[in-house]
Amino acid sequence: MALDDAEAQKQIQQMVNFILNEAKDKAHEIEAKALEDFNIEKLRIVQKMKEKIRLEFQKKAKQMEIKRSMSRSSAINKARLKKMCAKDQVFKEIYKISSEKLAELYKDKEKYKNLIIDLIVQSLYYMQEPHVIIRCRDVDKAIVESCFNEAVQKYNDKLKTKFNITKNVKIELDKSGNYLPPPPSNDNEGKSCLGGIILSTPNRKINCDNTLDVRLKLAIEYCTPEIKRMFFENA
């Protein structure tokens, strides 16, 4: 009987050992599975965070690029505006200096008379009219009227040289009192005129403005590309 008990105890112990081993194996298996699941979840979280950081970095990089572009655009616009203001100031200064020099021309009577003659001839050549009325400044009436005969002669000499023809041209001074504005002065706060003449047909339908003001504006417009080129080279 004692032997049977010993055998029974041995068998029980074997069963206990078997169960314990099975439990250990199962515990290792559960632990290994838990570790694997942990690593997978950790990897998933890490990847998710990396993607989040990448997207956040892209967003911030895009914001920085937009901000940099806006700053660059603003700086370019400010520089362009500054250059435009500087160019405008240059043109104003050129116009001012030229105006002051032209305003002094009429003081040299001989030089101014020759200029008026050339302006009349040019206007006659442009208009090709047999009868014209001339407007001028009140201060220029006498000198302009003294130019008529010489201007007609010079005009016909030009026609004869180029086309071998001559024309009878009648020139009259506008007697209506509708004079061009007076010369620029400190006392003259209204419109002013640097000099020159305006030719019109008697019916006023055809006009040729050959005032020094108009010619100065045309000269500056014509020279503007060259002035701009010089400005940019020296900017």
* 210: nearest Cα among 130, 140, 110, 109: 140
pTM: predicted TM-score of the whole model, two decimal places: 0.62
pLDDT tens digits for 60-114?
888 988 988 888 888 898 888 888 887 778 778 888 888 888 888 888 999 999 9
Confidence of residue 188 (pLDDT cuts 50, 70, 90): low
pLDDT at 196 over 90: yes
How large is the average pLDDT for residues 139-150? Answer: 95
Distances (CA, A) of 167 to 116, 122, 153, 202: 20, 15, 10, 18
User: What pLDDT, on the 0 to 100 scale, is given for residue 11?
Assistant: 82
How many other CB atoms are there within 10 angstroms of residue 217's CB atom?
Answer: 13
pLDDT tens digits for 22-68?
888 888 888 888 888 888 888 888 888 888 898 888 888 889 889 88
Share of the chain above pLDDT 70, in %: 92
* 171: nearest Cα among 213, 113, 210, 117: 117
